Structure 1
Amino acid sequence: MSQQIHTNLAPEFPLPFSQALRAGDFVYVSGQVGVDPTTREVVGETIEEQTIQCLRNIETILTAAGLSLDHIVKMNAFVSRQEDFPNYNKAYESIMRRPFPTRTSIGCNIGSYLVEIDAIAYAGSVRGESN
């Protein structure tokens, strides 16, 4: 049985999805975009600004689940413009610690957002710990 994770500190949209679900030791975080949690306005005009906001939104949701970014084992990112990949990677690396989670990054049209990122976290350990 899965348990819904929800926090008012992360962006909320009138769409049919949960911010995150806990299933056993795993927490699955729905795709987050670079919006301010309070205003739901896009943060900045660059891929760097929006990537950092996406990761902060994911972090806020994981905190509500009692976890951190260091618990993430897998991420998927959808980047609107191919030319933004180098700057997306720089912003990602400025927030995420080594060893990095496994990751898939896809170029695709996601409307007015420059990036959307989802995550899978494992509560059993943090990256870099011996299991």
Structure 2
Amino acid sequence: MNKEVISTKGAPGAIGPYSQGIKIGELVYTSGQLPIDVKTGEMPATIEEQTKQSLENVKAILESVGSNLDKVVKTTVFLKDMNDFAKMNEVYGAFFNGAYPARSAVQVARLPKDALVEIEVIALA
């Protein structure tokens, strides 16, 4: 199987030696997506806005290789503060329909650029 590097202008570019995502066979793996607005380069202020932006970035990466959020099988959500879980969860739930993907959510000491949330996914191609 060939490993295909995913690169789209629809999501923020990598800020280090990694790819936005990798497609191998019938699976797509995204790197963790910070809530950076690709048009402005800025991050919104609230956990709700940041969750939405992170998922929009994930969506753009998936769609660039013909996948979509309905094909997501696993997500990992990294939170700066677990007290934001309920607010994140409300926004997160609006992005997925029916059979929700498996998910892990963890609090971390710090995220790049001091983001409040970062989200990565595994999806079917």
Q: Same fold (TM over 0.5)?
A: yes
In 2: Cα distance, 1:109 partner to 1:46 partner: 18
Query: Which structure 2 residues correspond to residues 1-131 of structure 1 after superposition, within 5 A?
Result: 1-43=2-44, 45-111=45-111, 112-123=114-125
Q: Alignment partner of 2:31: what SS? A: strand
The amino acid of 2:78's aligned partner reads F
In 1: Cα distance, 2:27 partner to 2:52 partner: 23
Do 1:78 and 1:110's aligned partners in 2 also have CA atoms closer than 8 Å? no
Q: Which runs of 5+ in 1 are unaligned?
A: 124-131
Q: Alignment partner of 1:4: what SS? A: strand
Task: Report the aligned-residue RMSD.
Answer: 1.1
In 1: Cα distance, 2:14 partner to 2:4 partner: 19
Cα deviation for residue 12 of structure 1 reads 1.1
How many percent of aligned residue pairs carry the same amino acid? 38
| Off by >2 Å, runs of 4+ in structure 1 | none
Q: Which runs of 5+ in 2 are unaligned?
A: none
